[in-house]
Amino acid sequence: MPMQRAWSQYSCQPARPERSSALRAPLERHRIARHDVDVPPIAGTAALPSARVGTPKRVALVHGAGKERRLVSILRRLAAAAGARVEWSERAGAAGSDLTRALAESDAVIALALPRFRRGERALLPRFHSMVRAPSAFGSSAAPRSLRRSDLLLVGAVGAGAHAWERSVRLAADWAIAEGRRSLHCAVRGAGWPILASDRAARFRRIAGEHASLTTLRIGHHDTRRRLLFEPGEFEAIVADAGDVDTLATASCSGVGWSNRVPTIYVGDASTLVVLGDAAGAARGAESGETALAIALATRRLLRQLGELGAAERLGSLIAAELGARLESSGDLWLDLASETTEGFAAALVGRRAGRTPLGA
């Protein structure tokens, strides 16, 4: 099959001994780059920031009133139920300067949406090297396969340089392994930018070779979108350019027949920003139990990024236990989450931590 040949062409192979360029055959210079291409590695820091050991992390809640306060408070309740050591500060305001100030004074910021920036306030996004979105893997067109993977992990490189790309690939690989995922795909555009696509694919293969537990493959952006529409369950984690993350998320949600609110996490060297109100397919987005599940998964990733590994694992256990109980009780997680309220699912997680298990499991 042509698709099988394409996949095998990009599959990671063991590095071969370097050969002199003078000994290479003329046609070999035009082949797809392998592990032994001359792509200089870029020194990067670890995925987790150098957190202050033994000290609470500072998290600012930037929100308005009513609905905004309620969504933000769900994340705070879940983090508290997991036993996270966090110093919370609440800030009112929707201007770009308010968000920029909160990021400068905190380890992480939780907001409902990115504000409209005035002139001179565009210095916010360069703080981050990656953005993360995770649309739900449950839907009317997809049967539940595994509770280990309740969503699709999408990591996008915010910066245009090779350093930001390598940081995003390492972040995607580290988070995929931490969440028990077994594969990672690279979806970069090839048409119009063959040199850039080849360089990014080569860097992806080199970094992927450092993670033996992951099956890593590189396919084109358009092929990835097509497969997400018809085979969304075949993907566990994807790394791409930030500008392509929304289209991949929309294709994934269309493939499973379900679309709802999906928080966006912006990851930087010194701070993390969680935007709760972002949605894939906003016109169809309706708050439900899946909304609370997406916030809970984003909370777990935020805690892990802050260095609160114990709290992140506790929250992960609560989520797995609650989903397992609901699957055993209803047999269809999509219908169960669609008929559950946001507050109901969040309360179930908090109650499970306190020893109250409404669904019993």
Q: DSSP E strands: which ranges in 47-174?
A: 57-63, 86-92, 108-111, 128-133, 153-157
Predicted pLDDT of residue 142:
67
> Is 29's pLDDT higher than 60?
no
> Is 178's pLDDT higher than 70?
yes
Mean pLDDT taken over the chain: 75
Predicted pLDDT of residue 14:
43
- If you average pLDDT over residues 141-164, what whole number do you get? 78
- If you average pLDDT over residues 108-119, what whole number do you get? 76
Q: Which residues pair with 59 in a beta bridge?
A: 88, 108
Predicted pLDDT of residue 252:
86
More confident: 240 or 44: 240
Query: Residue 204, SS3?
Result: helix
- pLDDT by residue (tens digit) across 295-315? 999 999 999 999 999 999 999
Predicted pLDDT of residue 116:
66
Q: In whole angstroms, give the CA distance from residue 68 to residue 91.
A: 12
Confidence of residue 160 (pLDDT cuts 50, 70, 90): confident
> Is 43's pLDDT higher than 60?
no
Do 116 and 281 meet the contact criterion of CB atoms below 8 Å apart?
no
**Architecture, CATH, for domain 121-353:** 3-Layer(aba) Sandwich (3.40)
Give the residue among 280, 354, 344, 358 at the shortest CA–CA distance from 314: 354
- Percent of the chain at pLDDT exceeding 70: 69
> Is 170's pLDDT higher than 50?
yes
Q: Quick one: three-class SS letters along 205-235? A: HHHHCCCCCCEEEEEEHHHHHHHHHHCHHHC
> Is 256's pLDDT higher than 50?
yes
Give every strand in the sheet of 128-133, ordered side by side: 86-92, 57-63, 108-111, 272-275, 264-268, 128-133, 153-157, 237-241, 183-188, 215-220
- If you average pLDDT over residues 264-268, what whole number do you get? 91
Q: Which residues pair with 58 in a beta bridge?
A: 87
> Is 123's pLDDT higher than 70?
no
Predicted pLDDT of residue 265:
93
Q: In whole angstroms, give the CA distance from residue 42 to residue 161.
A: 11
Q: Which of 234-248, 253-267, 330-344 has the lowest mean pLDDT?
A: 253-267
Q: In whole angstroms, give the CA distance from residue 70 to residue 3.
A: 46
Give the residue among 276, 249, 272 at the shortest CA–CA distance from 261: 276
Predicted TM-score (pTM) of the model is 0.78
- If you average pLDDT over residues 21-36, what whole number do you get? 35
- As given in the structure block, the two tokens for residue 350 are 């908090």
Confidence of residue 238 (pLDDT cuts 50, 70, 90): very high
Helix (H) or strand (E) holding 188: strand 183-188
Do 175 and 51 meet the contact criterion of CB atoms below 8 Å apart?
no
Which residues, including other chains, have CB under 8 Å from residue 148's CB and lie 6 or more apart? Answer: 179, 180, 181
More confident: 183 or 143: 183
- If you average pLDDT over residues 117-135, what whole number do you get? 73
Domain range annotation of the chain: 121-353
Where does the chain have alpha helices with state H? Answer: 2-10, 67-81, 96-105, 162-178, 194-208, 221-230, 242-256, 289-306, 309-330, 333-339, 342-353
Query: What phi-psi label fits residue 250: left (phi over 0), alpha (psi between -120 and 50 degrees) or beta?
Result: alpha
- If you average pLDDT over residues 72-91, what whole number do you get? 89
